[in-house]
């Protein structure tokens, strides 16, 4: 049997995934990174994005996560997500509503800090929408 990595994706509502896979690509706050067996230990925050899970055999599966943490240890990769779902459960209409609300918050912002934070949120959500539109069944571009 080929050596893989244990992946667990957990949200407050449910355990979304728990299995041994070949690799996992994760949306870290500093950019996407891929985890395979024997990856160096790492803990990082996640930005909203798509996790691509590549099994030992078969086609990759994509999951949506909205923020959280990723912990790579000798035991595997654990993703503790604020929200997690399969790609089929990803709701673009809900994302559009979040973009609208973030834009309204940006318009209401009064201080530089409030405007900066609100602009970052709008940009992140718009990037996520663009990313969602480019999923080709196995990869996020």
The full set of domain ranges for the chain reads 5-87, 91-132
- Check: CB of residue 16 under 8 Å from CB of residue 7: no
Tens of pLDDT, residues 83-132: 898 888 877 788 888 889 989 999 999 999 999 988 988 888 888 888 88
Fold held by 5-87: ATP Synthase; domain 1 (2.60.15)
Q: What is the pTM of this model?
A: 0.79
pLDDT above 90: residue 51: yes
Q: What is the model's pLDDT at position 2? A: 52
Q: Which residues of 21-44 are buried (b: 16+ CB within 10 A; e: fewer)?
A: bbbbbbbeeeeeeebeeebeeeee
Identify the DSSP state of 90. -
Average pLDDT, stretch 7-32?
94
Q: What is the model's pLDDT at position 86? A: 86
Tens of pLDDT, residues 127-139: 888 888 777 544 4
């Amino acid at each position: 049997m080929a050596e893989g990595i244990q992946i667990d994706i957990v949200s407050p509502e449910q355990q979304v995934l728990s299995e041994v896979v070949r690799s996992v690509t994760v949306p870290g706050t500093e950019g996407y990174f891929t985890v395979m067996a024997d990856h160096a230990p790492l803990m990082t925050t996640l930005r909203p994005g798509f996790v691509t899970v590549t099994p030992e055999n078969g086609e990759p599966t994509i999951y949506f996560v909205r923020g959280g943490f990723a912990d790579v240890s000798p035991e595997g990769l654990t993703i503790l997500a604020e929200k997690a779902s399969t790609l089929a459960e990803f709701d673009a209409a809900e994302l559009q509503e979040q973009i609208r609300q973030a834009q309204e918050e940006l318009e209401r912002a009064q201080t530089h800090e409030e405007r900066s934070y609100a602009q970052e949120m709008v940009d992140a959500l718009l990037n996520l929408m663009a990313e969602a539109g480019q999923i080709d069944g196995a990869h996020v571009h």
